[in-house]
Chains A and B, each alone.
Chain A
Amino acid sequence: MKLILKLPPGGSEGIVYSLPFGFAGCGDECDGVFAVTEKEIKIYIDGELEEVYNISDFSEFVVRRGIGTSFIQGIAPGGEVTGFCGFTQDLFPRYGEVAKLLCHYIRTDELIKETGAEETVCPKCGLPLEGSSECVFCKSTASTMVRLLKMILPYRKSFTIAVIFTVLSQLIWVAVPFLDRLLIDKYVTPKKDSIAGILLLAVSMILLMLLEGVFEYFNMKHSFKVSLNIGKNLRETVFRKSQQLSMSSISRRTAGEMINRISNDAAKLEDFITANGKDAIVRILSVVLLTGLLISLNWRLALLTLIPIPPVLVMVKKLNDTMKVNYTRVWKYSTRHSELLHDILNGIRVVKSYGSEDRESVRYTDASERLVRANIRAETIWYLTMPFSFFMVTAGSYFVLYFGGRNVLIGSMSVGQLVQFTSYAAMLSEQLFWLIFIPRTFADASVSAGKIFEIIDERSEIMDSEDSRELDIKGEIEFQNVSFGYKPYDPVLREISCKINKGEMIGIVGHSGVGKSTMINLIMRLYDCTEGEISIDGVPLKSISQNSLRSQIGVVLQETFLFDGSVYDNIAYADPAASFEDIIRAAKAANAHDFIVKLPDGYNTRVGNKGYQLSGGERQRIAIARAILRDPKVLILDEATASLDTRTEKQIQQALDRLTKGRTTIAIAHRLSTLSSADRLFVLDKGRLAETGSHKELMSKKGVYYKLVMAQRETTKMRTAV
């Protein structure tokens, strides 16, 4: 990353980092330079040296992200804070890096000038790279359409057959006007009385039509085969990809949006390929063929027919651009519409309990109206320009009629020839007219294609490295100096170092939002830590294949989710191959068996749709059973028993105690009594590991944990007093 962007007036002498800024420490707008030398930080404002600070006077440097601006601060050992300057967000990564390097400098006395961190924006289009080495947008030079065509490749056989049969049936259509001409010139005009000849012509016409039907059948059969398969492949690829995406990219998108992409966009492309991909090829072929025929028949008249083509092409280009934008807007509203629908239906319980059905109806109507309006607008533009284009395309045939008619009268052309010619001209217009339609379908499809390829091309941030391997986990987990933030330079966890021994039960406690769930997210490698390393049995997480890692960890998450299906399915989710007996055993251990027995259909009771038929505690117990069934080496319980009464909790705890023998267990709980059986407690405070030790040790230390316990006793007392 370039950390010298703008030099101070004094020049580059001794400068290590030098960045511009737009706001003085007090927030006034200015034109400033933040320069760092080996000993000092110099602040220049409007070309004048304003302030000089000694680096050694500070113990920490931080960047803080504000709303519209961010700022860099130094913190003195006494806790006194100095604000150096403020800057716009595009400079944030660079200042963040400088702050990090300065902290490193203070701690280790090593001043790093060149950092390995990559340039943060693509030099070509200016978009931030966000960790990838190449800009995803500038990398792919192949246009979306070429990629779509490439998807046909696996079905090229069927596709070719379809094309051949379409060409054949087109040829038949070309042959018909020729027969017309024969009929007129040979029999009608001379008024020749030859039934046999006319019959022969009629029979061949009927035969041709029948043949056309047969060709059409083969054509359709193969076309559909291609398009349905491509649609299927697309949906599967997008779906598979959406499963592989890292948590951070998934949480960027709403479920409604993903659904829209997987189903609607793929369907649109599927349609596009059947209806247009093949047709485009065939029609372009027939345009060439018909033009050739027309020219060979009468090149002068042919020229007249072709006159309108150039202006039509220009118009097509213009329309293409307009329609693309309009369809993007339609796409946007359609996504919003499905998002809203998804949101309301998912939260229907809240909606009902607040009696806000009418309000939601209004909200829905609004979204649906917007979609309609966007659609109407797109279609209106389209249908306003269309009749005019149609006129333009057919304009040539009026000239042909006039000049061709004159030719017939002069005698330089027969009536049959004119009929044949005008038939071809009309066919050509039809093809050309279809080409006008292309912008619309093309725009619509390329919007959808873009959205789909965007997902397919997205780089998963968490990937198995080439040398990642399977590991038989024993259960020793180590955090070495781990820092992590969901957003860069905004750490949630800081410098956590700890070791969890095999078979130990660890409790993590701390205030809400301190980063407990985050810590287990890191163990499961749903996110990669920003700094430091986590290892299991001495092997870094990054070199264990994700599958192998997660298959040996059992989790009960803070939010219980049950899939649409029976109790049985939901427990068996952890291990589809488990025997029924194993499942009952797991349910028993989770204290779930008793209430399952009472359900109308026992283990077959359907608990789908988020398991609304079950109480919060019942759902939690199913989730625990699911985790137990997995027989994991590492068991993670995030507030797993929070919705249970203390007696049920105790029972489960006992069952778990039996089960967790020899297993590493990590439990998070706010109710501290839950963790009474933990071997050691980790106390998180302000993102750092504040204390570790057993309940007793921590109580006698009278630190953070002591305060937590005391505060909880206070509230329990209050509750009992009421």
Chain B
Amino acid sequence: MTETEELYKVDELKLLDCKKIHLTHEKSGFLTLEYEGKVYHKTDPTRLVPFFSKTTYISLSYEDEEKEFHEIGVIKNMADLEEEQYKILDSYLKYKYFMPEILKVYSIRDNMQGSIFVKSLTTAGEKTICIKDWYQNFRMLTDSYLYVNDADGNKYFCEDIHRLDKKSLSVLEMFT
């Protein structure tokens, strides 16, 4: 009986009421969610549209012991959360989607075999970012949003390259 219940819930978007959400940290590194009297362990928040928005449409889900995926529901806008709750969720998301922002680009070297080495200043310090197949992994998502996926799988971004200083922009110019 419960299984059929589950089945029918799958095709329904459940928006969570932010006032009833209570999140706490737990030992596994995930969060614990209390919602409408139920307790969900190992809750793993996910940004549904990470490129468009960092604080809206956050899906909360967990994997049960059988490693079966269950979505608890979706938070439409984190701003509706209580301040304490917002902080917990936000810090978790910042960790999960850890993505240094590019602040300055000093130089870009191309090895002419599809890889580029971008010397830049990011929010995680100065770095030379190695990018393989750069025409795939060094991409403009919109006319101004730069998204970088380096050879190790680390990600970097620059929300608006036109707000960078002139020199960085002219260096970037060549590769975007």
Contact = CB atoms under 8 A, between A and B. Distances in A.
A329 interface: yes
Nearest to A686: B67
B27 A81 contact: yes
A125 interface: yes
B135 A446 contact: no
A116 interface: no
A68 B110 contact: no
Contacts of B110: 324-325, 328
A66 B96 CA distance: 6
Contacts of A26: 25, 29
A233 B168 CA distance: 42
B112 A86 contact: no
A454 B29 contact: no
B73 to A, nearest CB: 20
Contacts of B92: 27
Q: Is the interface of B mostly helix, strand, loop or mixed?
A: loop
Contact of B135 (A28, A67, A332): A332
B155 A68 contact: yes
B175 A329 contact: yes
B175 A69 contact: no
Interface string B100-116: 00000000001111110
A686 B155 CA distance: 29
Which of B42, B130, B155 has the largest number of chain A CB atoms within 10 A? B130
Interface in B30-85: 30, 42, 50, 65-67
Interface residues of A, number: 48
A66 B151 CA distance: 16
A307 to B, nearest CB: 32
B133 to A, nearest CB: 8
Interface stretch (A87-95, A290-298, A550-558): A87-95
Contacts of B30: 81, 83
A341 B153 CA distance: 29
B154 interface: yes
**Max chain A CB contacts within 10 Å: which of B99, B117, B130, B153?**
B153
B96 A82 contact: no
Given A23-B95, A73-B28, A126-B128, A686 B66 contact: yes
A643 B50 CA distance: 37
B94 to A, nearest CB: 8
Contact of B111 (A80, A137, A331): A137
A686 B128 CA distance: 39
A90 B152 contact: yes
Contacts of B65: 79
A33 B107 CA distance: 32
Nearest to A89: B153
Interface residues of B, number: 38
A126 B92 CA distance: 30
A468 B26 CA distance: 52
B109 to A, nearest CB: 10
Contacts of B115: 125, 127, 137
A86 B113 contact: no
Interface string A90-110: 101000000000000000000
Interface in A224-260: 252
B132 interface: yes
Contacts of A144: 112
Contact of A68 (B3, B25, B154): B154
B86 to A, nearest CB: 15
Which of the listed residues B42, B66, B112 has the most CB atoms from chain A within 10 Å of its own CB? B112
A73 B42 CA distance: 12
Contacts of A454: 113-114
B135 to A, nearest CB: 4
Contacts of A332: 135
Interface string A327-360: 0110110010000000000000000000000000
Contact of B114 (A92, A125, A325, A450): A450
A25 interface: yes
Contacts of A447: 112
Nearest to A325: B174
A123 interface: no
A447 B111 CA distance: 11
Interface in A429-461: 446-447, 450-451, 453-454
B67 A67 contact: no
A70 to B, nearest CB: 8
A620 interface: no
A453 B113 contact: yes
A450 B92 CA distance: 42
A71 interface: yes
A674 interface: no
A127 B118 CA distance: 12
A546 interface: no
B154 A89 contact: yes
Contacts of A81: 27-30, 42
A67 B97 contact: yes
25 contacts: A23-B95, A23-B98, A27-B92, A29-B95, A65-B153, A67-B97, A80-B27, A81-B28, A81-B42, A82-B28, A83-B30, A88-B98, A89-B152, A89-B154, A90-B153, A125-B115, A126-B128, A126-B130, A322-B174, A325-B174, A328-B110, A328-B175, A335-B135, A450-B113, A451-B114
Given A27-B92, A86-B95, A92-B152, 18 more contacts: A27-B95, A67-B97, A68-B96, A71-B29, A73-B29, A82-B28, A83-B27, A89-B154, A90-B154, A126-B128, A126-B151, A127-B132, A127-B151, A322-B174, A324-B110, A325-B174, A325-B175, A454-B113
What are the 7 A-B residue pairs with the smallest beta carbon separation, nearest first? A83-B29, A27-B95, A68-B98, A89-B153, A90-B152, A81-B28, A325-B174
